[in-house]
Amino acid sequence: EPEVTQTPSHQVTQMGQEVILRCVPISNHLYFYWYRQILGQKVEFLVSFYNNEISEKSEIFDDQFSVERPDGSNFTLKIRSTKLEDSAMYFCASSYDNEQFFGPGTRLTVL
Amino acid sequence: KQEVTQIPAALSVPEGENLVLNCSFTDSAIYNLQWFRQDPGKGLTSLLLIQSSQREQTSGRLNASLDKSSGRSTLYIAASQPGDSATYLCAVPNSNSGYALNFGKGTSLLVTP
């Protein structure tokens, strides 16, 4: 069964460094998303992407964040200068229509 | 802003029991509602999607109902098993966009043998 994949599974970085989280959505899906979950808290929406542009973003998704679909299969989330509070589980999701399918997540630890 | 609440926060039941998880949302103008399962340290697995025009959806031992007018959904799990132990999340999309999901905090379920 097709699934969303994410790499790496765990990323440790120093505060102020740039990180790129990678996702491969399900191949025929049209909509792509990033969410995050800080330990012990709710899953929070960051951004959605459709037709090669951002379709919606939350107030969390500020100028430090960017997304890109560099080729026909990958979808990336870049954090330019990481802060301690960016430590969280980051989930990529994709959908063909309404039902969203999530990847296993990347645990980002900022030291 | 859409707010999603799930009750109870945690539940422990013996194997074989039928159980109900509750989800409520503040803005009834939703396109759909999705139930997920999350195992510790893992991603989210989609269980059921109910469209706004539907009243319920079934998959195996799971049955989800939706009452838009009262802003409520329930997830019914029949004949619970230890393998059902996980956190169950309810999510509804933003009313204005239809895509960004708003999640509840979840119900942590433990099914004991």
Res. A85 pLDDT band, cuts 50 70 90:
very high
B15-45 pLDDT tens trace = 999 999 999 999 888 889 999 999 988 899 9
Q: How far is A18 from chain B (nearest CA, A)?
A: 24
**Per-residue pLDDT, B94:** 84
Determine which of B3, B25, B44, B96 to mutate to test the interface with A (most A C-beta atoms within 10 Å). B44
Other beta carbons within 10 Å of B9: 12
Write out the residues of chain B at the interface with chain A, using a CB-CB cutoff of 8 A. 31-32, 34, 36, 41-46, 49, 51, 89, 91, 93-94, 97-106
**Per-residue pLDDT, B93:** 92
Running DSSP on this structure, what letter comes out for residue A4? -
For residue A76, CA distances in Å to A44, A49, B2 come to 17, 11, 27
Given CA atoms A69, A63, A45, B29 in this order, what sign does their dihedral have?
negative
Q: Which ranges of chain B have pLDDT less than 70?
A: none
**What mean pLDDT do residues A38-45 have?**
94
